[in-house]
A and B are shown apart, each in its own frame.
Chain A
Amino acid sequence: MSDDAKGGLDSVGDGPVSSDSTEADPTPSSGDPSQHASVAALIERFGDAVLRHALNAGDQWVVWVDHRKSHEALAWLKNDAAHAFDMMSDVTAVDYGQGRPVEVVYQMYSTTHGRALRVRCPLPHDALEIDSVYDLWKSVNWLEREVYDLFGVTFRGHPDLRRILMPADYAEGHPLRKDFPLRGRFSRAEQTRRALNQDVDRFYVTDEIEHAEPQQVGAAEVGTLPASSKASGESV
């Protein structure tokens, strides 16, 4: 495996870096945790579950937390009055490629204490699963769905974990992974074939609202509505 990331047109066909070589890269912690009350308390309370910490970009505190303890630690950060991180601004993930763990990143802010914290939870490539924090912050509903969609990280306990940005039947994988090529995994011909063979009607009969029975909602009529769209699929 080449160490260098490919650039420009070279990487259009393949991902910029492969995901499968392994390379341990222990980075030492930086910064003095006593400057940030929540970081210091987190280290004291969770001990080894706090893998390391860093002071990045001048004044931004980051802690790496073991993913098996992530829900417990985040719940504590939210519910403990001394920290009260009531605002979960963002949930996302980072894939470095080359077999390094995919890291789920939480950006938190406490409106009570005016304090920000970033929590990163590394996940091994063969087990991309972490506990959902939807029970703590409702704001993560779509954010976790997006991480699931684009990185393939499963959030245990999320009530509605579906693809969100990519189509529900997208078959090429998870686009923001480093081994995903910029133009997709399928050839352009295959992508075109799939697009033309899409069952357009399916998008009109919603299966998103489960409990509305088909005979009541008149799915039969709704389903046959776009007769022209069916024809267009064949004529192209």
Chain B
Amino acid sequence: MSTKTVEINVAQGREMGPGGSAVPSPLAPFDIPEPDLGGDRMLINIGPQHPATHGVLRLVCELDGETVTRVKPDIGYLHSSFEKLGEYRTWNQIVPLTDRMDYLAPLIYNCAFVMSVEQLMGIQVTERCKVVRVILMELDRIFGHLLWLGTTAIDVGAFTPFLYSFQQREKIYTLHEALTGARITTSATRVGGMMADLPEGWLDDLLEFLDRFPKTLDEVDRLLTGNQIHIGRTQGVGAISADEAINYGLTGPNLRASGVAYDLRKDRPYYDYETYDFEVPIGEHGDCYDRYLCRMEEMRQSVRILYQAMARLPEGPINVEDPNISLPSKTDAMSDMESMIHHFKLITEGIPAPEGDCYGAVEGSKGELGMYVVAEEGGTKPVRWRVRPPSFVNLSVIPKLAEGHLVSDLIMINASLDIVLGEIDR
């Protein structure tokens, strides 16, 4: 029978305690031969309805004692055929479908979709629109990471960070609501611009949030980063090397935790991200703890980007001034013949696209979010609209990460991947 050694390595080149001293290990390493339990394997089902699966996900696990020997995820419970529905809708009508995929960071999905369609059609959005979209995407990166932070902390037994992070999320909900009228299903973007410009006073509310949020983040940081239980549950758990992480298709913080500095905002920049001053945090060990550290740092970097974007936000129109793309104002449509015709044509027919395809990828909160749109000449609807789902690919790595770990580690690994089932099942 094999012996299992549990070691908690806190001296992985990090400064843990005050003054740079390593935090002493909470558990003494032990080395006890496992009792012979007959070698039978047990099969257990986690989910599909279980709070620790973070959605309607079923994990079929084969256990040897308490060790996971095999795990097979079973997905599809939330399948809504969004991609098929999109083929029956005009470009702008697809926008509401996008935020229902990742309801934890809806604005990123809104922006990513229209960005890809605009690229396909060769539309240059206005400078103001670019900066507004950067603001919205970074805000929702914080939004998505905060949910991850709270729920993951609960999975390892820490309840307080959940309350702290959801209190901050509530403030972002309020910002969403002020901007779009909806808290989750934002649908804020349109091809060629936004549904509406930022409402009056919105930036002041955002500024107020940004001034207070880092303090809360530091509090959570103090609760978790040096927390011995948290360290024991996450360090060395679910580790993956850099080469393997790339080969297995991990993206986002999950990839960067393995030490690969691949961030689409830096490597394949869009919306002038190359002109913002921010850093891409990377980990070293690719384990759950490094993923946690990466996401915490990403939130701080997002705050930096948000300050810079607010400072540079130019005045000017938010929508492109092309009557074949942007809707006229309501007043114009009611009083001006030509505007009314444009309005009618845009609503009934939609915006024609050229023949071709376009893969527009952004750095979502969960990884590389690609929107692949294929159009035929003059098509006002996509021939194919494909979402490259970051958490779908990230979740497919879970058998590789979890096998050999304990069942309780499987829960932590699943949480650390930051999945959202709405987008996995689509």
Residue of B nearest to A139 (CB): B249
| Residue from the list B85, B122, B360 in contact with A182, Cβ < 8 A | B85
Q: Which of A89-97, A122-130, A193-201 contacts B (4 or more CB under 8 A)?
A: A89-97
Contact indicator A164/B76 (Cβ below 8 Å): yes
| Residue from the list B42, B43, B85, B386 in contact with A90, Cβ < 8 A | B386
B358 at the interface (CB under 8 A from A): yes
What sequence of 0s and 1s flags, for each residue 113-144 of chain A, a beta carbon within 8 Å of any chain B beta carbon?
A: 01010100000000000000000011111110
What sequence of 0s and 1s flags, for each residue 33-67 of chain B, a beta carbon within 8 Å of any chain A beta carbon?
A: 00000001111010000000000000010100000
A217 at the interface (CB under 8 A from B): yes
Contact indicator B43/A105 (Cβ below 8 Å): no
Interchain Cβ contacts within 8 Å, total number = 142
A208 at the interface (CB under 8 A from B): yes
Contact indicator A89/B357 (Cβ below 8 Å): no
A175 at the interface (CB under 8 A from B): yes
Contacts of A140 in B (CB 8 A): 249
A73 at the interface (CB under 8 A from B): no
Can you spell out 20 A-B residue pairs with CB atoms less than 8 angstroms apart? Answer: A7-B381, A54-B356, A57-B358, A89-B368, A90-B372, A90-B388, A107-B370, A111-B267, A114-B268, A137-B247, A139-B249, A146-B392, A150-B83, A164-B76, A165-B426, A176-B384, A204-B45, A208-B74, A209-B70, A209-B72
Interface size class of B (residues with CB under 8 A): 35 or more
A37 at the interface (CB under 8 A from B): no
Interface size class of A (residues with CB under 8 A): 35 or more
Contacts of B43 in A (CB 8 A): 206, 209, 212, 217-219, 222
CA distance A114 to B246 in the complex (A): 14
CA distance A92 to B384 in the complex (A): 10
B425 at the interface (CB under 8 A from A): yes
Contacts of A94 in B (CB 8 A): 357, 374, 383-384
| Residue from the list A16, A58, A141, A208 in contact with B122, Cβ < 8 A | A58
Using A56-B357, A116-B268 as known contacts, say yes or no to A92 and B41 having CB atoms under 8 A apart: no
Contact indicator A167/B76 (Cβ below 8 Å): yes
Contact indicator B381/A107 (Cβ below 8 Å): no
B246, B248, B249, B381 interface centre (most CB from chain A within 10 Å): B249
A40 at the interface (CB under 8 A from B): no
A142-180 contacts to B (CB < 8 Å): 142-143, 146, 150, 163-167, 175-176, 180
Using A107-B372, A164-B75 as known contacts, say yes or no to A206 and B119 having CB atoms under 8 A apart: no
Contacts of B62 in A (CB 8 A): 209, 212, 217
Contact indicator A212/B359 (Cβ below 8 Å): no
| Residue from the list A57, A96, A164 in contact with B119, Cβ < 8 A | A57
Contacts of B361 in A (CB 8 A): 89
Contact indicator B246/A87 (Cβ below 8 Å): yes
Q: Give, as a whole number of angstroms, the nearest-CB distance from B152 to chain A.
A: 23
Contact indicator B359/A16 (Cβ below 8 Å): no
B79 at the interface (CB under 8 A from A): yes
Contact indicator B249/A88 (Cβ below 8 Å): yes
Contacts of A95 in B (CB 8 A): 384
A62 at the interface (CB under 8 A from B): yes
Residue of B nearest to A95 (CB): B384
Residue of A nearest to B261 (CB): A111
A66 at the interface (CB under 8 A from B): no
CA distance A182 to B393 in the complex (A): 26
Contacts of B248 in A (CB 8 A): 138-139
Contact indicator A176/B249 (Cβ below 8 Å): no
Q: Give, as a whole number of angstroms, the nearest-CB distance from B336 to chain A.
A: 28
What sequence of 0s and 1s flags, for each residue 126-137 of chain B, a beta carbon within 8 Å of any chain A beta carbon?
A: 000000000000
Contacts of B386 in A (CB 8 A): 90, 92, 105
Using A58-B119, A87-B249 as known contacts, say yes or no to A165 and B75 having CB atoms under 8 A apart: yes
Q: Give, as a whole number of angstroms, the nearest-CB distance from A209 to chain B.
A: 5
Contact indicator A137/B79 (Cβ below 8 Å): no
Contacts of B370 in A (CB 8 A): 89-90, 107
B87 at the interface (CB under 8 A from A): yes
| Residue from the list B79, B88, B262, B358 in contact with A7, Cβ < 8 A | B88
CA distance A227 to B385 in the complex (A): 42
Contact indicator B393/A139 (Cβ below 8 Å): yes
CA distance A166 to B84 in the complex (A): 13
Contact indicator B41/A114 (Cβ below 8 Å): no
Q: Give, as a whole number of angstroms, the nearest-CB distance from B396 to chain A.
A: 4
Residue of A nearest to B380 (CB): A7
Contacts of A209 in B (CB 8 A): 43, 60, 62, 70, 72
Contacts of B260 in A (CB 8 A): 111
CA distance A58 to B117 in the complex (A): 12
Using A90-B372, A212-B62 as known contacts, say yes or no to A16 and B356 having CB atoms under 8 A apart: no
Contact indicator A138/B247 (Cβ below 8 Å): yes
CA distance A86 to B262 in the complex (A): 12
| Residue from the list A27, A56, A118, A208 in contact with B60, Cβ < 8 A | A208
Using A86-B247, A142-B392 as known contacts, say yes or no to A176 and B84 having CB atoms under 8 A apart: yes
CA distance A48 to B5 in the complex (A): 57
Nearest 8 CB-CB pairings of A with B:
A139-B249, A57-B358, A142-B396, A217-B43, A90-B388, A56-B356, A165-B76, A94-B384
